[in-house]
Amino acid sequence: MKALVITRFTLQEAISRRLVLAGLLLSLVFLALFAAGFQFLYTRALESGTRSPGSLVQVFAGAALTVLGLYAVYFLSSFLALFLTVGAISGEVDSGTLHAVLARPISRAEYVAGRWLGFAILIVLYVAAMAGALLLLARLFAGYEPTSAERTIALMLLCALALLTLSLLGSTLLSTLANGVVVFSLFGLAWLAGIIEFVGDVLPNQSMIDLGIVVSLLIPSDALWRGASYYAQSPAFLLAASAGRGTFPFASLVPPALPFLIWSALYTPVLLLAAVLAFCRRDL
Amino acid sequence: MAAEAPAATPAVETIGLRKEYGRRVAVQSLSLTVWPGEVFGFLGPNGAGKSTTVKILVGLVQPTAGQARIFGQPVSDLRVRQRVGYLPEHFRFHDWLTGVGLLDFHGRLAGLSAAERRRRIPEVLRRVGLAEWGQDRLRGYSKGMMQRIGLAQALLPHPDLVLLDEPTSALDPIGRREVRDLIRSLRADGVTVFLNSHLLSEIELVCDRVAIVDRGQVVRSGRLADLMAAAPELRLTLDRVDSELLALLGRHGEVLAVEATTVTLGVSDLEAAPRVAAALVRGGYRLYGLVPAQRSLEDVFVSLVESREP
C-alpha cells in the first residue's frame, strides 16, 4: 500500500522536526505539574474537611481535579490536532513539495489517507498517554475511580480525531492561514455552544439547548468532551452533584445520547471521505 | 540516435488538449507526439502553457478537454507513472530529509524493493554528481544541488520517459553541460526525454525534435535541422548602406540587422541569393560578400512568436 509509505513519511517528519521530542517533554512537565497540584490540593482538602473524613470533600476534590486536568488535556490535544493538520495538504501544495510526490504512481486518495493515518497515530498516542497517565495519577494519589476510564479516553480520542479530520479537510480546500482561522473559530464556536446549552439547561430554555445541539452536530468536539467528562466523574460525585443540579459548566452530569455517539463515530470517516473527494479534483 | 522510423506507440501523445483556469486559457488545443527514444524540446515564452502541459502528463492537473496518453495509456492510469520520471519546475523537496532519505522515500513511492533502492540510490547520486552529499540534509544544499537531487529523483526508478521542466535553470555553465551530457546518455540508453525549456541554446544542443508553443498552441514543430534550414539568412557586405538599399532589400526579404556596411537579410529560401546579388549590382552597389547562414533557433523562435503578436 502506497498510503503506508506516506504514513511512514509523516511520522518520520514529526520525529525529524523534533515535534515528538517537544511534545514528550512538555507533556512530562504538564503531568508533573498535575501530580504536584493534585498532591498539594488533595491533602489540603482532606485536612480542612476533617469533620467528615473520606466523604464529600474527598469525593469533590478528586472529581474536580481529575475533570479539570482532563479538561486541560482536551484543550491541549484539540490544539495539537488542529495544528498538526492545519497545513497538512495546503502547506505541501504551497511549498511545491507535493508535485514530485504525486507524479509517482500513488493516487490522491492514498496520499490523503496515508497522511491522515500518520497524524491520527500521533494524536491517538498523545491523548491515550496523557489522559491515561492523568487518571493513573489520580488513582495513585487519591484512589480516585472514574465511572469509566475506558469510555472517558475513547470519547476524548473520538473528539481529537474529529478535529484532526476537520482540519485536514480544510487544508485540502483552503490555504494554511485561512484554514487555521476557520478551524480555530469553529472550535471556539463549539465551546461557546456548549456553554449556551449548559445555561439553557439550568434556566431551563429549550431554544438555547437546541442551538447547542445543532452546533454540536456540526462540530462535535465540545459535546464529545462533555460525554468524556461524564465518565471521568466518579459515581459517588455524580450522585451528589445530581441532587444539587449543575456543577461545572464544562462537565456533564448525564451520559452522551446514543444517536449523538453514532453521529460522532461517523463524523471522522465522512469528513475524511470529503477530504479525499475535494483533493482529487484539485489542480496543483 | 533519434527514432528514424517511428515505433507504433508514441511515448507521449496529446490530442486537442485544453486547460482553462476560469477565463484564462493556459493550454489551447495542443496536439503533439513524441516518439520513444527521442529527446523532445518543448519551447516557448513564459506563460505559454509548457508547465501546465507537463503537469497534465503526470496527472497533477486535470485537462478541461482533450486526451493525453503516455505509452498508449491515458495519463489517469497510475500504472503508467511507474515508467515516468519527473523533475518539477519548482524543484522543492522536504528540507528535513537527507539526499538519501529523499531518494528512499521516492523509491518506495515508485514501488522499488529494498534491494533495488540500495543498489539504485548510490547509482543515481553518482550520476548527478552528489555521491558525497547523500547523507547531508537537503536544507544545507545549494540551489544547484537541489536541482541535481531533483534529477536524481526523476531518474531513480529507471524510467522510460523523463519529463524535465527547466532542468538547468539553477545551474552554472558547468552544471548545464553536465545535464546536457546526462540527457545524451539517457538517449543512448533509449530513454525518451521531454525537455521543457526557454533556454534555446539548451534545446539546440540536445534535442532531436522541437515544438514551439505560444499561448497554449503549437506554432511550429519538427526536426530541429528542418526548422532552422527552413528560414535561412544572407549576410551581405557592401560599399555603403542607405535607405534606397534597405528598400531594395526589403522587396526580397526581411532586414534583420544592419552593422556598419553589413546587412543581415532573412529570406524564404536560398534561391533568393542570386536574385538579391543581381538586384544589388543593377542598383549600382558594390557587393564584397554574400554569405548564406543558417538562422539560430533563437531567430526562428523570436520571429515565430513576434509574428503572432496581436
- Shortest CA gap A202–chain B (Å): 53
**Chain A residue with the nearest C-alpha to that of B79:** A105
Grid cell, residue B120, equals 539504485
Residue B284 backbone phi and psi in degrees, to 5: 90, 10
Q: Tell me whether residue B189 is exposed, middle or buried, using C-beta atoms within 10 angstroms of its C-beta: 0 to 12, 13 to 18, 19 or more.
A: exposed
Tell me which residues of chain A have a C-beta less than 8 Å from any C-beta of chain B: 2, 5, 8-9, 12-13, 16-17, 95-97, 99-107, 281, 283-284
Are B78 and A17 a contacting pair at CB < 8 A? no
| pLDDT of res. A45 | 64
Grid cell, residue B158, equals 529507471
CA distance B158 to B169: 24
CA distance A90 to A172: 6
SS3 annotation, B232-255: CEEEEEECCCCHHHHHHHHCCCEE
Interface test mutation site (partner A, options B55, B97, B105, max chain A beta carbons within 10 A): B105
CA distance B11 to B162: 10
Question: How many other CB atoms are found less than 10 A from the CB of residue B221?
Answer: 19
- A229-282 pLDDT, tens digit each: 999 988 888 887 777 655 677 888 889 999 999 999 999 999 999 999 999 988
Provide the greatest CA pair distance for chain A: 73
| pLDDT of res. B230 | 65
Domain count, chain A: 1
Beta pairing class for B192-197 and B39-43: parallel
Grid cell, residue B171, equals 545551474
CA distance B102 to B269: 52
Nearest CB to B78; choose among A95, A107, A284:
A107
A105 CB neighbours in chain B (<8 A) are 78-79, 81-82, 109-111
Are B96 and A13 a contacting pair at CB < 8 A? yes
pTM metric for this prediction:
0.85
| pLDDT of res. A247 | 64
| pLDDT of res. A56 | 65
B22 part of contact set with chain A, CB < 8 Å: no
Lowest pLDDT segment from A37-51, A86-100, A188-202, A249-263: A37-51
What number is the average pLDDT over the span B111-119?
94
Q: Please give the residue range of the domain that contains residue A199.
A: 2-280
Are B60 and A107 a contacting pair at CB < 8 A? no
- A156-183 pLDDT, tens digit each: 999 999 999 999 999 999 999 999 999 9
| pLDDT of res. B229 | 67
DSSP per position, chain B: ---SS--SS-SEEEEEEEEEETTEEEEEEEEEEE-TT-EEEEE--TTSSHHHHHHHHTTSS--SEEEEEETTEETT-GGGGGGEEEE-SS----TTSBHHHHHHHHHHHTT--HHHHHHHHHHHHHHTT-GGGTTSBGGG--HHHHHHHHHHHHHTT--SEEEEESTTTT--HHHHHHHHHHHHHHHHTT-EEEEEES-HHHHHHH-SEEEEEETTEEEEEEEHHHHHHTS-EEEEEES---HHHHHHHHTTSEEEEEETTEEEEE-SSTTHHHHHHHHHHHTT--EEEEEEEPPPHHHHHHHHHHHT--
What number is the average pLDDT over the span A76-95?
93
Are B111 and A96 a contacting pair at CB < 8 A? no
ipTM above 0.90, yes or no: no
- Domains with residue ranges and CATH for chain B: 12-223 (3.40.50.300), 232-294 (3.30.70)
CA distance B19 to A283: 11
B75 CB neighbours in chain A (<8 A) are none
Nearest CB to B105; choose among A9, A99, A103:
A9
**Chain A residue with the nearest C-alpha to that of B92:** A97
Are B90 and A99 a contacting pair at CB < 8 A? yes
Which of A63-72, A162-171, B161-170 is most confident?
A162-171
B273 part of contact set with chain A, CB < 8 Å: no
